[in-house]
Amino acid sequence: MTDDTLLEKAKHCLGGSLLNPLSDIALERFSARNFERLAALIHRYSGIKMPQGKRTMLAGRLRSRLVALELDSLDDYCGYIFENRGIANELVHLINAVSTNKTDFFREPVHFDFLRETFLPALVLAGRRAVKIWSAAASIGAEAYTIAMVLEDFRRKNHGPDYSILGTDISTEALEIAVAGQFSKAMIDPVPPEMRSRYILQSRDQTLAMARIIPQLRAKVAWARLNLMESRYPVDRDMDCIFCRNILIYFDKSTQNNVLKRLCDHLRPGGYLILGHSESGAGAELPLVSVRSTIFRRL
């Protein structure tokens, strides 16, 4: 895959516009009934809430699918899915289109400070030789690769434990970018200079706008497609730490609680669950104790 292709895919996953705006005719031909049918399907399969106020947003996200399927309107798209049995082929593309893939390297840095200053030193004191971390809802990989940089840096400087990282997401397009480990130079700006020089390959040709995670670090992260709405997760049940950040906000309360309960099943006793800054497990009966804001320890 070429650099240009990856860059275009990244723009699409991050909400960038690769196509002309949806025509007024196509937008008008999106009935309230069909919006409700699509919204119900999206919620049932992915847990993502799609209230009436997001009708225009959904229409914009699906414009590329109209082009790909050579359809004239969103009502035609709904006809293809619901009446022409296109759902089996189209569901993955629909979820790719509506998934929000906002992500950054070292986003919410307090969580990575916790890994470096508290989590990893405790494992060393306990004599642990290996650590397993799961980045759920990993998007295009910035979170998982940030974790890898922090763990590798600690291992190198402190004779820390070996580690493995699992990154999962519902979007196949996001995972394709994550596996490649190739990002725009602008996106890697938050990476500290020392880590950037050690863990990221950058072309000497200043006209090239891409950079890539070094192979040794990419090899530490395994990638898989996973839908958090599934009743069971094909993931090890002895994770030392699970990151599930900035995805629960798109779910209703019942779905949030169910996802959190399932995530807890994959944490070892004493392991940590880390949520996004605007998320919490408040109101849910979970085997967790808060150790600081958005960071919880499994009982």
CATH of the domain at 233: 3.40.50.150
Say if residue 23 is in the same domain as residue 148: no
Say if residue 77 is in the same domain as residue 137: no
Domain boundary among the residues 78, 98, 118 is at 98
Say if residue 14 is in the same domain as residue 69: yes
Say if residue 166 is in the same domain as residue 80: no
Catalytic residue among 169, 218, 240, 298: 169
Confidence grade of residue 202 (pLDDT, cut at 50, 70, 90)? confident
In a domain, 189, yes or no: no
Confidence grade of residue 25 (pLDDT, cut at 50, 70, 90)? very low
In a domain, 192, yes or no: no
* pLDDT surpassing 50 at residue 17: no
**What is the per-residue pLDDT for 30?**
85
pLDDT tens sequence across 263-296? 999 999 999 999 999 898 877 899 999 999 999 9
Say if residue 92 is in the same domain as residue 120: no
Domain boundary among the residues 68, 98, 128 is at 98
**What is the per-residue pLDDT for 100?**
74
In a domain, 104, yes or no: no
Please state, in angstroms and as integers, the Cα–Cα distance from residue 10 to each residue in 121, 147, 240, following that order: 35, 20, 30
Q: Which of 120, 109, 108, 212 is nearest to 162 (CA)?
A: 120
Cα distance between residue 223 and residue 178, in whole Å:
8
Say if residue 258 is in the same domain as residue 118: yes
In a domain, 144, yes or no: yes
Rounded to two decimals, the pTM is 0.86
Catalytic residue among 55, 61, 218, 298: 61
Confidence grade of residue 180 (pLDDT, cut at 50, 70, 90)? very high
**Domain that residue 234 falls in:** 110-183+213-298
Across the beta sheet with 182-184, the strand order is 182-184, 210-213, 200-202
Instruction: Please compute, for residue 284, the number of CA atoms within 13 A of its CA located in the half-sphere on the CB side.
Output: 22
Say if residue 171 is in the same domain as residue 275: yes
What's the CATH code of the domain at 78? 1.10.155.10
Say if residue 48 is in the same domain as residue 160: no
**What is the per-residue pLDDT for 207?**
74
- Percentage of the chain with pLDDT > 70? 91
Lowest mean pLDDT among 10-14, 76-80, 129-133, 256-260: 10-14
**What is the per-residue pLDDT for 16?**
44
Say if residue 142 is in the same domain as residue 280: yes
Say if residue 94 is in the same domain as residue 220: no
Binding residues for S-adenosyl-L-methionine: 101, 103, 107, 143, 169, 227-228, 245-246
In a domain, 141, yes or no: yes
Known active-site residue 169: yes
**What is the per-residue pLDDT for 83?**
87
Say if residue 76 is in the same domain as residue 220: no
Across the beta sheet with 130-135, the strand order is 221-225, 162-169, 130-135, 239-244, 267-275, 295-298, 288-292
**What is the per-residue pLDDT for 1?**
53
What is the token pair recorded at 3? Answer: 């650099």
In a domain, 23, yes or no: yes
Beta bridge partners of 164: 132
Number of domains making up the chain: 2
How many CB atoms sit inside 10 A of residue 34's CB? 19
| Higher-scoring residue by pLDDT: 8, 243 | 243
**What is the per-residue pLDDT for 284?**
81
In a domain, 105, yes or no: no
Binding residues: 101, 103, 107, 143, 169, 227-228, 245-246
Give the chain's mean pLDDT.
89
Mean pLDDT of 92-101: 88
**What is the per-residue pLDDT for 13?**
54
